[in-house]
Amino acid sequence: MQGVLFDLDGILTDTAKFHFAAWSRLAQEKLGVTLPAEFESRLKGVSRVDSLVRIMDYAQVTDQYTPEQIEQMANEKNGYYVQAIEKLTQADILPGIPALLAELAARKIPCVIASASKNAPLILKNLGLTSEFAAIVDPAKVAHGKPAPDIFSAAAQAIGASPAECVGVEDAVAGITAINAAGAVAVGVGDPQELAAAEIIVPTTADLTYAVLEQAYQARAK
């Protein structure tokens, strides 16, 4: 294993609840709808504008807004979201992540962020994790978002590795699909049925260790 490609939201910290709260506020105020709870997981790994498109579909208002109004609403949601993530600290890092990053650093295995979030640099800074990563892929610079392979291909490239030499860690179905499409080895965190396409699935981030990632990598090589 030459590198580890990390999703951010749901792997390093739990920001899905903040995305959902910000979208819920926007949907209520601007579209007059209450989002059902299942939207929290339905928007995982989905880009900002694509998330808004799904919400507008749900509200059945897709044809009623201009591209400028859509962009304005996406910006507004981001304002609410940034207010929440500004308060993140080291205490918000998910269990097992500091130990995993330390194990990988000790083995000199580079780590890269492959997140759909344009706020990834701010989140990493507030978690105190910026220096643990060799690179953060800019999602604005990849042509297609998850489930397309682009962001994981770019993440491997950022450390001079081929995707096949890397393990990707994800909590979202779209992310596992993207890792597999890039040709990297997928480790899923969450529901084994939902994430069945991953090489190995663990229940929580506390179960992520170097040994688990290496086991997934070796299993795929067979």
Give me the half-sphere count of Cα atoms (radius 13 Å) on the Cβ side of residue 207: 12
Nearer Cβ to ligand G16 (75/218): 75
Among 30, 48, 97, 188, binds ligand G16 (CB under 6 A): 48
Selection from ligand G16, Mg ion, none that 26 binds (CB < 5 to 8 A by kind) is: none
State which of positions 137-176 bind Mg ion (CB under 5 A): 171-172
CA distance 173 to 197: 8
Is 9 assigned a catalytic role? yes
State the Cα angle at 54 between 34 and 124, rounded to 5°: 90
Say whether residue 115 binds ligand G16 (CB under 6 A).
yes
* Contact string 7-46 vs Mg ion (x = CB under 5 A): x-xx----------------------------------x-
Binds 78: which of Mg ion, ligand G16, none (CB < 5-8 Å by kind): ligand G16
Closest CB to ligand G16 among 115 and 126?
115
Is 44 one of the binding residues for ligand G16 (CB under 6 A)?
A: yes
What is the distance between the alpha carbons of residues 16 and 149, in angstroms, rounded to a whole number?
A: 22
Of the candidates 9, 50, 138, 171, the residue annotated as catalytic is 9
CB of 185 to ligand G16, least distance (A): 18
Is residue 171 part of the annotated active site? The answer reads no
Q: Which residues bind ligand G16 (CB under 6 A)?
A: 7-10, 19, 43-48, 51, 78, 115-119, 172
Q: Which residues bind Mg ion (CB under 5 A)?
A: 7, 9-10, 45, 171-172
